[in-house]
Amino acid sequence: MTTKWLSQAEQASWRNYILTAHDLAAALEADLAVHDLTMGDYEVLVWLSEAEDNRMRMCDLAQSLQLSPSGLTRRLDGMVKAGWVERASCAQDRRVMYAHLTTTGRAKMEAAAPTHVDSVRRHVLDPLGAEGVAQLGEIFGRIREHLLELELTRV
């Protein structure tokens, strides 16, 4: 197989993405830090808040967050200790465990949400403008479709 090396324009685009992705993640994390939340914590709270009955099977939550089961357990440990999330076993199947958003967890997410939205707007949306936001959505939509197709062919 012959490698098709990146052109100068492709290399510049790729490096801009790599450098920016780390800086963007750090900026979003820093803005949530005033709420004593990480992006990982916030993602858990959002997924649970949008789930039916504010709970998800642990295996489904891990998959949604692209974490291993042990990675999810580690992520939830502090959240359970803080009272934001509870773990509960399934009455019908003791092998199934649920993560459930508590009232305290919902309040934490709702307090942080305006900060997070302002952060996304300030660091991503505003610099792009309406046309750039549409282009970004299209670009990442195409990449996501490609990755989903690859995953389907691996199964």
Please give the pLDDT value at position 154: 67
| SS3 assignment for 57-78 | EHHHHHHHHCCCHHHHHHHHHH
The pTM of this model reads 0.88
Collect all residues with Cβ–Cβ distance below 8 Å to 89 and sequence separation of at least 6: 96, 97, 98
**Nearest to residue 123, comparing CAs of 40, 26, 13?**
26
Query: Tens place of pLDDT for every residue, the chain, 155 residues?
Result: 899 999 999 999 999 999 999 999 999 999 999 999 999 999 999 999 999 999 999 999 999 999 999 999 999 999 999 999 999 998 888 888 999 999 999 999 999 999 999 999 999 999 999 999 999 999 999 999 999 998 877 65
What is the C-alpha to C-alpha distance for residues 140 and 145, in angstroms, rounded to an integer?
Answer: 8
Question: Which helix H or strand E contains 23, and what residues bound it?
Answer: helix 8-33
Map residue 85 onto helix, strand or coil: strand
Please give the pLDDT value at position 1: 82
Domain 9-111 has CATH 1.10.10.10: yes
What is the C-alpha to C-alpha distance for residues 145 and 123, in angstroms, rounded to an integer?
Answer: 25
What is the C-alpha to C-alpha distance for residues 24 and 22, in angstroms, rounded to an integer?
Answer: 5
Q: Would you list the domain boundaries of the chain?
A: 9-111
